[in-house]
Structure 1
Amino acid sequence: MSLHILRISLLIHILSAMLWIGGMLFFALIVAPFLQTISNPHERSNIYHTVGKKFRLWGWVAISLLLITGWLNIYLMGVPLTAIFNPAFYNSSFGMALGVKLSMVFLIVITSFLHDFIYGPKAGSEQRYSIIARWFGRVNLLIALVIVFLAVSLRLGGL
């Protein structure tokens, strides 16, 4: 029974990561370059804001599912919650990879919140907010790719 739940949880986890990271890549590689072809800065800002707001909903659905299934996966793979809070756990290759991944997840949730709810909505009003939001977006994508690397490392036994 728990193997079936783990299989479903892993599937939801991977699909959620695909949605979130794929969306960030689509934004960076397709939407942003396209918007540079629009000469009217007000129109460009409106489109960016509208697309960003629509993606934000699905991005946070994905983040929520990743957090829920991530903890469920840890539990179903036999890692007791007490191990997460035991410094000795992080002496193993698996523990080290999981610890770094959990730290990166914590960091990306904070930076995503700042990007999506603090700086992103203000990006159209002031240039400095636009620059900060752009950098948070880039940093989030980089952190997400590091998390994927760590996830692969975990499946192979650790770092």
Structure 2
Amino acid sequence: MYQAAVFIHLASAIVWIGGSLFLALVLIPVLRRFAPPPGQTPVLPPDMLGTLARRFRVISWICIVLLVATGLYILPTRYGIGFAEFFSLGGHFAATLQLKVALVAVVIWLSAMHDFIIGPYTNRLIEAMLAGAEPPGYLPALRKAVVWIARINVLLTILIVAVAVTMTRGTPV
């Protein structure tokens, strides 16, 4: 059962981080390249990025739930660390684990803000603007915030992997 939990944990991390990197480094830049100048007919469906992002959001939240669940199973099973020990243990492993958990909490919070609050609100404003409504003056800042939250989250998830490696393999020399 432990090996299955580790496999699910690693596979979920690979899908989540790999998908995030694919969106950020491949899909979004390519879609921007094919965006038409104002007034011209789009080559691609107008909400293609939104549709893809919403689909990936489901996958990413499944991965987040699996990562947390398997992590909570692995800690006591492999390392004998329960809730009380998490806060009372000392040493490199415990400190690194606490850092990893703190980073995971930040990533989950940022993901929730991006996926369920700021992102959907920005999309509603853009849809209203496309339907003829006057866009609010803060819309460009809000769009930048959505992009920067996603970028910061990708960087933090990569940092979580680096912290996890040092947690189990030691600090690099």
User: TM over 0.5, yes or no?
Assistant: yes
Cα distance, 1:121 vs structure 2 = 1.7
Give the structure 1 partner of residue 158 of structure 2.
Answer: 145
Q: 1:85 aligns with which of 84, 87, 93?
A: 87
Q: 1:134 aligns with which of 130, 147, 152?
A: 147
Give the fraction of aligned pairs with identical amino acids, expressed as a percent: 30
Unaligned runs of 5+ in 2: 127-138
Give the structure 2 partner of residue 32 of structure 1.
Answer: 28
| Mapped partners of 2:86, 2:169: distance in 1 | 19
1:9-24 matches, cutoff 5 A: 9-24=5-20
Task: Provide, for residues 23-73 of structure 1, a one-character-per-residue CA deviation record: whole Å limited to 9, x for no partner.
Answer: 100001111111112115796761221111000000000000001001111
Unaligned runs of 5+ in 1: none
* Structure 1 residue ranges, 4+ long, deviating more than 3 angstroms after superposition: 40-45
Give the structure 2 partner of residue 96 of structure 1.
Answer: 95
Larger gyration radius, structure 1 or structure 2: 2
Query: In the comparison of the two structures, how many residue pairs are matched?
Result: 152
Code of the residue aligned with 1:146 in structure 2: it is: L
Cα distance, 1:129 vs structure 2 = 2.3
Task: Provide, for residues 91-150 of structure 1, a one-character-per-residue CA deviation record: whole Å limited to 9, x for no partner.
Answer: 300011001000001100000000111112233323222111100100110110010001
Give the structure 2 partner of residue 48 of structure 1.
Answer: 49
Cα distance, 1:158 vs structure 2 = 6.3
Give the structure 2 partner of residue 112 of structure 1.
Answer: 111
| Mapped partners of 1:120, 1:7: distance in 2 | 37
| Mapped partners of 2:171, 2:77: distance in 1 | 17
Query: Using a 3 Å threshold, how does the CA distance of structure 1 residues 81 and 31 change in structure 2: closer, same or farther?
Result: same
What TM-score results when the alignment is normalised by the length of structure 1? 0.88
Task: Calculate the aligned-residue CA RMSD, in Å.
Answer: 2.0
Q: Secondary structure at the match of 1:36?
A: helix
Structure 1 range deviating more: 42-51 or 76-85? 42-51
| Mapped partners of 2:122, 2:13: distance in 1 | 26
